[in-house]
């Protein structure tokens, strides 16, 4: 087991990140169930795509565990200069208890440079989501950004780019976009 496969945030709070690399791991089913309810269809990979990326070396699917309770997951990609959090979700019954902040604090502390995307701010819920990430140290990159579609019958969708601990440069954004288009969204992984 590699250091990145399982790590504890602190002994005090027992929050653990367990890397999942097989669909036979019992946490994989819990992750899929949460994935299906936490994200709209146009932001989801197919079931086959979810299985395909498990074998990709730079893809990290983490089950988030507090003591022995599954609290959520992170699906992230490691690139040369940053980690890209493609999906992050906390179980609906545990939201509002500080888990999201604890998870992001731990992840960002360990991985230093992190990029993620959120829906554009159009209402109170999306505004609250942006404030949450800003309170966690993320900064908005002001550019019109469209995430490629996970499904051939759908158009790319607009998202807002956030980065930690500082705003992306134009060069860093181009590197992110290149990784997104040519690696994350590879047709074999959709």
Q: Percent of the chain scored above 90 by pLDDT?
A: 91
- Give the span between the Cα atoms of 161 and 118, in whole angstroms: 7
- Take residue 39 and report the two structure tokens written for it: 């994200």
* Window from 6-15, 20-29, 37-46 with minimum mean pLDDT: 6-15
Q: Round the average pLDDT of the chain to a whole number and report it.
A: 93
By C-alpha distance, which of 136, 143, 144 is closest to 165? Answer: 136
Tokens of 190: 């959709």
Contact by Cβ (8 Å): 81, 58: no
Per-residue pLDDT tens over the stretch 64-100? 999 989 999 999 999 999 999 999 999 999 999 999 9
CA separation for the pair 95, 71 (Å, rounded): 9
Q: What is the pLDDT of residue 14?
A: 79
> Do 75 and 87 contact (CB within 8 A), yes or no?
yes
d(CA 116, CA 131): 14
Whole-angstrom Cα distance, residue 179 to residue 186?
A: 10
The whole-number pLDDT of residue 5 equals: 55
113-128 pLDDT per residue, tens = 999 999 999 999 999 9
Q: Which domains does the chain have, with CATH numbers?
A: 3-184 (3.40.630.30)
CA distance 155 to 146: 9
């Amino acid at each position: 087991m590699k250091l990145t496969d399982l790590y504890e945030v602190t002994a005090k709070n027992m929050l653990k990140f367990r890397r999942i690399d097989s669909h036979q791991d019992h946490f994989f089913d819990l992750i899929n169930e949460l994935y299906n309810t936490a994200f709209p269809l146009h932001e989801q990979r197919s079931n086959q795509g979810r299985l395909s990326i498990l074998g990709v070396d730079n893809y990290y699917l983490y089950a988030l565990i507090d003591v022995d309770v599954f609290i959520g997951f992170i699906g992230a990609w490691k690139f040369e200069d940053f980690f890209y959090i493609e999906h992050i979700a906390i179980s609906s019954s545990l939201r509002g208890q500080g888990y999201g902040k604890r998870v992001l604090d731990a992840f960002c502390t360990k991985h230093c440079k992190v990029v993620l995307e959120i829906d554009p701010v159009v209402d109170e819920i999306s505004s609250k989501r942006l404030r949450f990430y800003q309170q966690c140290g993320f900064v908005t990159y002001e550019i019109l950004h469209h995430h490629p579609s996970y499904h051939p019958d759908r158009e790319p969708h607009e998202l807002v780019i956030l980065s930690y601990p500082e705003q992306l440069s134009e060069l860093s954004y181009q590197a992110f976009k290149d990784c997104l288009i040519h690696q994350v969204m590879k047709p074999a992984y959709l």
